[in-house]
Amino acid sequence: MNYEQVTETYEAYAQKIGDRKRMYETIANIFDVKRALYPGSHVDIAPSFVIPHVIYVDSFKGAIRFFKKLETVQELIDQRKEYDEPCAIEFFGQDYTQPLDIEPVDLVISQYAGFVAQAMKHHLKPGGILLCNDSHGDATLARFDKTFELIGVMGSTNELVQTGLDEYFHLPKGKDVDIAEVKKTMKGPKYTKQEENYAFRKRLERE
């Protein structure tokens, strides 16, 4: 792929999924994120516009083709990045459940790509942030996993709301969440109050 093809591929995809840059920017600014891991990224390189070092992982052949000329993707990011540091990107064209030889990260991004947080939590620094939605139930698994603490929710305004968090992840009529069912169906339940995205903090070992 040449520069024009890489740009066109990204632009077409960004138009389909909507502009996520502000969402990533909010998280990067609040939590001073310098290094992120994005498994199941497809070609969503928006995190690199606001985060200096991002590691992308995807096994889909279209994504592998896109990232094959890493310098060309990097060139596009260099044109659009909003930080002073040089941009660094890595890509692993593999199943994210398989071992990854990387240093711990400040942020794990999970967007519509299965149980990313469960597979990747060991790569997240203690105190690091998980940004995820509940499309496939990944936020639900994080909410009921002692590794994580819910610290914020984010809707279409891309502002992080850090109050009233006890109101989330409740089923109608006080029913219990069936984690086994979520794992089986790979679908987040319909809660009485929900948001597009959730931010969790990985607890420190002594907590």
Ligand X SMILES: C[S@@+](CC[C@H](N)C(=O)[O-])C[C@H]1O[C@@H](n2cnc3c(N)ncnc32)[C@H](O)[C@@H]1O
Nearer of residues 80 and 203 to ligand X, judged by Cβ:
80
Shortest distance, position 40 Cβ to ligand X, whole Å: 3
**Interface mask (CB under 6 A) for ligand X, residues 145-184, using x and -?**
----------------------------------------
CB neighbours (10 Å) of residue 64?
14
Nearest alpha-carbon partner for 58 in 33, 89, 28, 87? 89
Interface pick for ligand X out of 37, 51, 63, 182 (rule CB under 6 A) = 63
Name the DSSP class of 177: P
The alpha carbons of the chain give a radius of gyration, in whole angstroms, of: 17
Q: Angle CA(195)–CA(109)–CA(197) in degrees, nearest 5?
A: 5
Distance CA(13)–CA(44), nearest Å, equals 7
Strand order in the sheet with 148-154: 88-92, 53-57, 35-39, 105-110, 124-132, 197-202, 148-154, 160-161
Interface pick for ligand X out of 59, 118, 147, 158 (rule CB under 6 A) = 59
Nearer of residues 22 and 170 to ligand X, judged by Cβ:
22
Segment interacting with ligand X, rule: CB under 6 A, options 2-10, 58-66, 138-146, 155-163:
58-66
Residue 95 makes contact with ligand X by CB under 6 A:
yes
Residue 96 makes contact with ligand X by CB under 6 A:
yes
Residue 108 makes contact with ligand X by CB under 6 A:
no
Nearest alpha-carbon partner for 35 in 95, 123, 119? 123
| 122: CB partners within 8 A, 6+ apart | none
Residue 134 makes contact with ligand X by CB under 6 A:
no
Nearer of residues 74 and 111 to ligand X, judged by Cβ:
111
**Interface mask (CB under 6 A) for ligand X, residues 31-50, using x and -?**
---------xxx-x------
The residue ranges that bind ligand X (CB under 6 A) are 17, 40-42, 44, 57-60, 63, 95-97, 111-114
